[in-house]
């Protein structure tokens, strides 16, 4: 009887309509049409009889959630990162995880470069000066001096899709591009005209540093006081990856004491950023509220891509946005069949 019914998917919060329409064609949708993320107890209550969960990076999908859902076959997340999901446990249970790599690459790279330009040229400070009626002289030789971006040295930490996209943009500004990654990418060095450096050397050499690594136990506080002190006093740090990659307390100290010139941050250790965070009152940091992928086109593509991945799994197909590919072997080993 069950095989003739539509599978059930729980959608944790408001998502773009394009994904919802697609899901409803193939699934029975339990939809929580609210913008804020749900509380843990709400998730636990709603996943009991579902075959799939459609979530975002703000919902923690852990062992407790998965154990509350005995029929669960797939978790789809409208994000590239999966640090909010217990991937190891999901894989051990034969639960597929689909995410949204690739579709937000260019949009996030745009923002990283926008933060670089805004920080270097003090765009936010200038905007505030005008709005607050503090622009008193039409022009002055030393007014609102910033740093050039063109011709400078850019250090990229993490040469994945977004790191590559940032490197391509930097070449248009005639920047010298260095990169550090756990895996050296020699083919890209030749293709993009970039140079590999160990992290410590990259930090010392670069005028701008842009972070593009996933959040893992190895990358948490990858940039801490030790690394910040290695940077030039004129350097600017850009982070559009995950907040905890940077030790925020150490960064505040670095910005206050002038170890570095500035920062452009789209992500933070705690989100939303608390109103009493010291970062809020620092003039040499540009802050955006985790909007790396926030364009109409990209968010629609992300939403659709996650939905398509869920549907393919439920139809017995293997999507190209499957994150935990080892699950295929585990399910085969245990002869677990999809619906």
Name the residue among 153, 147, 249, 150 with its Cα closest to residue 195: 153
Q: 18 exposed, middle or buried (CB, 10 Å; 0-12, 13-18, 19+)? A: middle
Find the angle CA(37)-CA(41)-CA(44) to the nearest 5 degrees. Answer: 95
Name the residue among 264, 302, 289, 293 with its Cα closest to residue 110: 293
Contact 189, 159 (CB under 8 A): no
Q: 123 exposed, middle or buried (CB, 10 Å; 0-12, 13-18, 19+)? A: middle
Residue with tokens 């072997």: 329
DSSP string, 211-262: E-----TTTTTSB-HHHHHHS-TT-EEEE-S-GGGB-HHHHHHHHHHTSSSE
Name the residue among 5, 52, 14 with its Cα closest to residue 312: 52
Active-site residue set: 242, 271, 290
Question: Strand 8-11 relative to strand 236-239: parallel, antiparallel, unpaired?
Answer: unpaired
Contact 223, 246 (CB under 8 A): yes
């Amino acid at each position: 009887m069950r095989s003739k019914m539509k599978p059930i998917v729980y959608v944790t919060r408001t998502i773009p309509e394009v994904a919802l329409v697609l899901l409803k064609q193939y699934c029975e949708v339990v939809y929580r049409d609210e913008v804020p993320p749900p509380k843990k107890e709400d998730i636990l209550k709603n996943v009991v009889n579902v075959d799939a969960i459609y979530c975002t990076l703000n919902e923690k999908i852990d062992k407790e959630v998965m154990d509350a859902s005995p029929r669960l076959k797939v978790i789809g997340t409208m994000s590239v990162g999966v640090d909010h999901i217990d991937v190891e446990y999901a894989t051990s249970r034969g639960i597929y995880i689909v995410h949204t790599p690739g579709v937000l690459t260019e949009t996030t790279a745009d923002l990283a470069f926008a933060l670089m330009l805004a920080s270097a040229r003090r765009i936010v400070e200038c905007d505030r000066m005008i709005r607050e009626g503090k622009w008193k002289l039409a022009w002055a030789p030393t007014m609102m001096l910033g740093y050039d971006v063109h011709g400078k040295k850019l250090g990229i930490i993490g040469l994945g899709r977004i790191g590559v996209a940032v490197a391509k943009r930097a070449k248009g500004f005639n920047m010298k591009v260095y990169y550090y990654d756990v895996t050296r990418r020699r083919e890209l060095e030749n293709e993009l005209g970039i140079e590999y450096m160990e992290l410590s050397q990259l930090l010392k050499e670069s005028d701008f540093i842009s972070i593009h690594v996933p959040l893992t136990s190895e990358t948490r506080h990858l940039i801490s006081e030790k690394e910040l002190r290695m940077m030039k006093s004129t350097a600017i740090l850009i982070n559009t990856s995950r907040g905890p990659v940077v030790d925020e307390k150490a960064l505040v100290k670095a910005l206050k004491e002038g170890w570095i010139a500035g920062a452009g941050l789209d992500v933070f250790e705690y989100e939303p950023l608390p109103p009493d965070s010291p970062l809020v009152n620092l003039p040499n940091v540009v802050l955006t509220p985790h909007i790396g992928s926030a364009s109409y086109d990209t968010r629609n593509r992300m939403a659709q891509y996650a939905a398509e991945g869920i549907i393919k799994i439920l139809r017995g197909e293997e999507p190209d946005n499957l994150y935990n590919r080892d699950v295929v072997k585990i399910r085969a080993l245990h002869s677990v069949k999809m619906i």
